[in-house]
Amino acid sequence: MSDTLNLTLKVWRQASPSAPGEFKTYKVYDISTHMSFLEMLDVLNEDLISKGEEPIAFDHDCREGICGSCSLMINGQAHGPDRTTTTCQLHMRRFRSGDMIVIEPWRARAFPVIRDLVVDRSAFDRIMTAGGYVSVNTGNAVDGNAVLVPKQNADKAFASATCIGCGACVAACKNASAMLFVSAKVSQFALLPQGQPERSQRVEAMVAKMDEEGFGGCTNTNECEAACPAGITVDNIARLNREYIRATLTAE
């Protein structure tokens, strides 16, 4: 089995938010199977630059599966074919020589394309801002047992907090719903004592902002969970619904 690949890439190119976009076809040769997907794009860009062509714009930062920047649709799948894997963690050994790979940006009204494969995901930031902050004065670091938290709640809160905000859930959802993202952010506070003072107003404000930003509704197809690189589960969506109902029923 060869350690190198020759591939055909169909890449979405769009010069600006207002410009029309189209797929362009590129060939890459002798791509090492040990490369990450982003390293393969780096090789393509080096070739384009050497030819005097405009390189392909794509988001990246940590390249360690932490920041959530590397948001790409690869052959119609958010972050590619591997489960719980970001694009930067996807290795070229998952493909075969001769394959055609289609690479697109996230497709959602709330995530407008900025250029090529880069989209504006600041809607997520605005949802987080709407949720506000935790008003509890935590002061200096305290003993781990000073605030008693049931282990089950602590584990669930930690699991929810692993959401990296990449937007794969939105891109994978047929409705472009942000429910998985919002539910993870609501859950991590709702499960802990420190999140109780703003518990009701937080969930109402975040859901309202989510709707305002133009995300679609959730119809429980669970594609968001399948696409999530952090393994966030739809249990959080059920918790978000309970939190929202509780907030509206207890509103003064």
Strand partners, 216: 177
| 122-249 is a CATH 3.90.960.10 domain | no
Q: Each residue of 119-175: pLDDT tens digit?
A: 999 999 999 999 988 777 767 776 767 778 899 999 999 999 999 999 999 999 999
pLDDT value of residue 1: 55
Assigned token pair, 30:
């002798």
State residue 136's pLDDT score: 72
**Cβ–Cβ contacts within 10 Å for residue 123, how many?**
24
Chain position carrying tokens 């497709």 = 107
Q: Are 21 and 113 in contact (CB under 8 A)?
A: yes
Q: Which helix (H) or strand (E) holds 18?
A: none
Distance of CA 203 to the CA centre of its chain: 20
199-212 vs 235-249: helix axis angle to the nearest 10? 110
At 10-29, the pLDDT tens digits run: 999 999 999 999 999 999 99
According to CATH, where is 1.10.1060.10 located in the chain?
A: 122-249
**Rounded Cα distance, 247 and 56, in Å:** 46
| pLDDT of amino acid 38 | 97
Predicted local confidence at residue 144, as pLDDT: 65
- Residue 53 DSSP class: P
Query: What is the percent of the chain with per-residue pLDDT over 70, rounded to a whole number?
Result: 97
Angle at 125 between CA 123 and CA 126, to 5 degrees: 65
- Domain 4-114: which CATH class? alpha beta
Ranges in the chain annotated CATH 3.10.20.30? 4-114
**Which pLDDT score, from 0 to 100, does residue 138 have?**
64
Q: Classify 73 as helix, strand or coil.
A: strand
* Sign of torsion over alpha carbons 117, 121, 216, 159: positive
Closest by CA position to 176, among listed 125, 213, 207: 213
Q: Residue 229 in contact with residue 65, Cβ under 8 Å?
A: yes
pLDDT for 194: 86
Q: Residue 252: pLDDT band by 50, 70, 90 thresholds?
A: low
Mean pLDDT score across all residues of the chain:
94
Q: What percent of the chain has pLDDT over 90?
A: 89
**pLDDT tens, 71-129?**
999 999 999 999 999 999 999 999 999 999 999 999 999 999 999 999 999 999 999 99
The residue among 165, 159, 176, 166 whose CA lies nearest residue 234 is: 159
Q: Where are the alpha helices (DSSP H) in the chain?
A: 37-50, 122-131, 151-161, 168-172, 179-190, 199-212, 223-227, 235-249
